[in-house]
Chains A and B, each alone.
Chain A
Amino acid sequence: MKPVFAMLTALLLLVSNLAKADLTIEITQGSDRAVPIAIVPFAQQGQANLPENIAEIVRNDLAHSGQFSPLADNALIARPHSSEQVNYRDWRAVDSNYLVVGQVTPEGSDYRIQFELLDIYGERRMLGEVVTVGQNQLRSAAHYISDQVFEAVTDIRGAFSTKIAYVTAEGAADSRRYGLHIADADGHNSQQILTSDEPIMSPAWSPDGNKLAYTSFETGRPAIYVQNLANSQRVQVTSFQGINGAATWSPDGRKLAMSLSKDGQPEIYTMDIAAGNFQRLTNNSAIDTEPDWSPDGESLLFTSDRSGGPQLYRYDLSSGEAKRITFTGNYNSRGRFSPVGEDIFMIHRASDGYHVAKKDMKTDRLTVLTETRWDESPSVAPNGSMIIFATQEGNRGVLGVVSADGKASYRLPSAQGDVREPAWSPFLN
Chain B
Amino acid sequence: MQFNNYVKSLIVVVALAFVAGCSSTGGTQDGSMDGSADGAGRQGATTGQVGGTGMGQGQGMQGQGQGMQQGQGQGRIPQQRTIYFDYDKETIRPEFESTLNANAQYLRSNPNARVVLQGHGDERGTREYNLGLGERRAKAVERYLAVQGVSDSQIEIVSYGEERPAVDGHSEDAYAQNRRVVFDY
Which residues of A line the B interface, CB within 8 A? Answer: 1, 172-174, 176, 199, 201-202, 217, 219-222, 241-243, 245-246, 259, 261, 265-266, 287, 289-290, 303, 305, 310, 331, 333-334, 347, 349, 354, 374, 376-377, 392, 395, 420-421
A-facing residues in B125-156 (Cβ within 8 Å): 125-129, 131-133, 135-136, 139, 156
B19 at the interface (CB under 8 A from A): no
- Kindly identify which residue among B136, B158, B167, B169 contacts A287, using a CB–CB cutoff of 8 Å: B136
Is B127 a contact partner of A174 (Cβ separation < 8 A)? no
Q: A242-B157, A261-B135 are in contact. Are A172 and B168 (CB under 8 A)?
A: yes
Q: For the complex, what is the distance from the CA of A222 to the CA of B158, rounded to whole Å? A: 8
Is B126 a contact partner of A243 (Cβ separation < 8 A)? no
Is B128 a contact partner of A290 (Cβ separation < 8 A)? yes
- Kindly identify which residue among A217, A333, A392, A420 contacts B129, using a CB–CB cutoff of 8 Å: A333
- Kindly identify which residue among A173, A221, A349, A421 contacts B127, using a CB–CB cutoff of 8 Å: A421
If A217-B160, A266-B131, A376-B127 are given as contacts, then 16 extra A-B residue pairs at C-beta distance below 8 Å, sorted by A number, are A173-B164, A199-B160, A201-B131, A220-B158, A241-B2, A242-B135, A243-B135, A259-B131, A259-B132, A261-B135, A266-B135, A290-B126, A303-B128, A305-B132, A310-B125, A333-B129
A-facing residues in B109-139 (Cβ within 8 Å): 116, 123-129, 131-133, 135-136, 139
Chain B residues closer than 8 Å to A172, beta-carbon distance: 168
Could you write out 6 A-B pairs with CB less than 8 Å apart?
A176-B164, A199-B163, A245-B131, A266-B131, A290-B129, A331-B125
Is A174 a contact partner of B58 (Cβ separation < 8 A)? yes
How many residues in B have their beta carbons less than 8 Å from beta carbons of A? Answer: 33
Chain A residues closer than 8 Å to B132, beta-carbon distance: 243, 259, 261, 265-266, 287, 289, 305
Chain B residues closer than 8 Å to A290, beta-carbon distance: 126, 128-129
B48 at the interface (CB under 8 A from A): no
CB distance from A289 to the nearest CB of B (A): 5
Closest A residue, CB atoms, query B1: A1
Chain A residues closer than 8 Å to B167, beta-carbon distance: 173
